Chains A and B, each alone.
Chain A
Amino acid sequence: MKKILTFFCLIISLGLFAGQIVVGTAAPVKSLRKAIEMARPGDTIRLQAGLYKEGSLVISKPLTLLGENNPVLDGESKYEILLISGRDITVRGITFRNSGYSAMNDFASIKLVDCTNITLEKNTILNAYFAIHISNSVNAIVRYNRIFGIPASEQLTGNGIHLWKSNHAVIENNQVEGHRDGIYFEFVTASTISNNLSQKNIRYGLHFMFSNDDTYRNNTFRNNGAGVAVMYSKKVRMEKNHFEENWGASAYGILLKDITDSYIRQNQFVKNTVGIHMEGSSRIEIRENQFKNNGWALKVQASCDDNFFHHNNFTGNSFDIGTNGTLVLNKFEKNYWDKYEGYDMNKDGIGDIPYHPVSMYSMIVEENPTTLILFRSFMVSLLDKAEKAIPSLTPENLYDNQPMMKMLSL
């Protein structure tokens, strides 16, 4: 009876969905490896619920691999589970776990090499060295994946979503936790990172290097070891992201190093040790951001020039701006600073005297960090008041000439 039923099912499925192969413990094809071999380009493989231990699999022809009811591919901590190389391939709805670790190769749960038009979606990747590793690919779409690593040391943990030398990638709506870098971009251009949540990673929530013309938008980077690093890139748009609770001696909402011609707009920087740390960066427009309850809202090194900060809100930060020199080539205008104590006689909403956002004490702390313990003491407020009256240590030309009287609604 059972056999007849299975036979019928097979007939029906073959008849109705041409080019479909069902893989499952109760299905005619029990091995995914075999199904991939059998499949013709354009076929769909439906992987039914179950636990599959099939070592390393390779897909190199156009295929759709669909997990049904969350099947699990287990790498037994030895294998790179899935290697994809080719075009028009989709992998959806599968849990990958326990992929192997290799000091020589960047072992990954899913690795894409030389690909075009690949979609990875709604997969769950657990306990991987690298979770998704993409190199030399075009049009890779990675979305709605959930990636949870078990953080070990920086050497023993790989990145969550790793892209190298690719373009036109779309990374969206993923969640990455517990890896070295949540999302890693190196030599990736014309790509978008949006609506992702990257948190509790050992190093950076987003690590971004030599990648021009990219946009990242609406992401949340929270509680990562060192926040977000954006380095050696041009024309990057950073919009509407949340940078939260990135705490530590070298943790930043964003670390900008050698960035030029970029935009940072409408982001929220909340409770970071440093909201934005900038060095060697030029021509960045920073506008309409919220800097709230950070240790330092901004740290602008003297190596930055021609950056324009306007219409931002600075509230509840321990220090508004820290800097390491007295030379200032950046412009601040029409920001709201909650520490501003000026007045507005002509009632145009703009303070009549400029605001100097660098306090004496932030210069002292810059020089001798241990003195942070004295912050908010009577002596320190006296020092700051004295400095305001007779500036000597703080950069004289770092000021906002048109500080807003009221908080901007952003």
Chain B
Amino acid sequence: MIHIEAVYKKFRRLQVLENISARFTAGQVIALIGPNGSGKTTLIKSILGMVRPDKGTIRVKDHLVTGNPDYRQFIGYMPQIGRYPDNMKVGQLFEMMKKIRGIESVDIDLLTRFEIEKIYEKPMRTLSGGTRQKVSAALAFLFDPPILILDEPTAGLDPLSSEILKEKIIQEKKKNKLILITSHVLSDLEELTSHIMYLQEGKLQFIKDLETLQEETGEIKLSKAIAKLMRGQETSSAWIDQLFAVEQNKENPQ
């Protein structure tokens, strides 16, 4: 569904994406991971057409992302930080989105479970960060798009909502959708992903399905598997150590 071919992107002197090629198909849940500044967000933005690659092409369902913006109707996007016009009411946001898409909402599952309809009359500026995340999530799933792009979806959500969202993602995965997730919390991804795509300094380090990864490293835990893999390649970074430490702490709370 998404074909990325030899994409390069430079911001001033910094090479943010370097020769990235990948193919994502329906039914995959791809975890896009890598340290800060590794190019994850740039890649997502490139797929959404917000960033124009210097070289290479990206196709979504055979549509070039640099062309007609209509392909974006196949994508539900949940940004890392959702900020909305201060005085717009929640209800109006949903109303506007429906008008833009020209269709009625199809999937109101999250809308109901997050109880968003109750706050329809509230202006956006009065919402907490977590509530705004819920709104963003509900919007991404609203039109039942075949592709979902979720940028740090669980960040800022309370555990309960986080669980709801995860359940929802798994549910969508079963519907044979393509889901692209970035997250710092690897344990979250573990239950969801089918593939891991690892970026570092703009380069694609690897893209592997979960089974292969576990086989190669002999580790079941995603975090450990990745850490091991990174060690093996001797391109370890402070980031992965830190991540590893966090994961271990979680396992042994004392």
A and B in direct contact, judged by CB atoms within 8 A: no
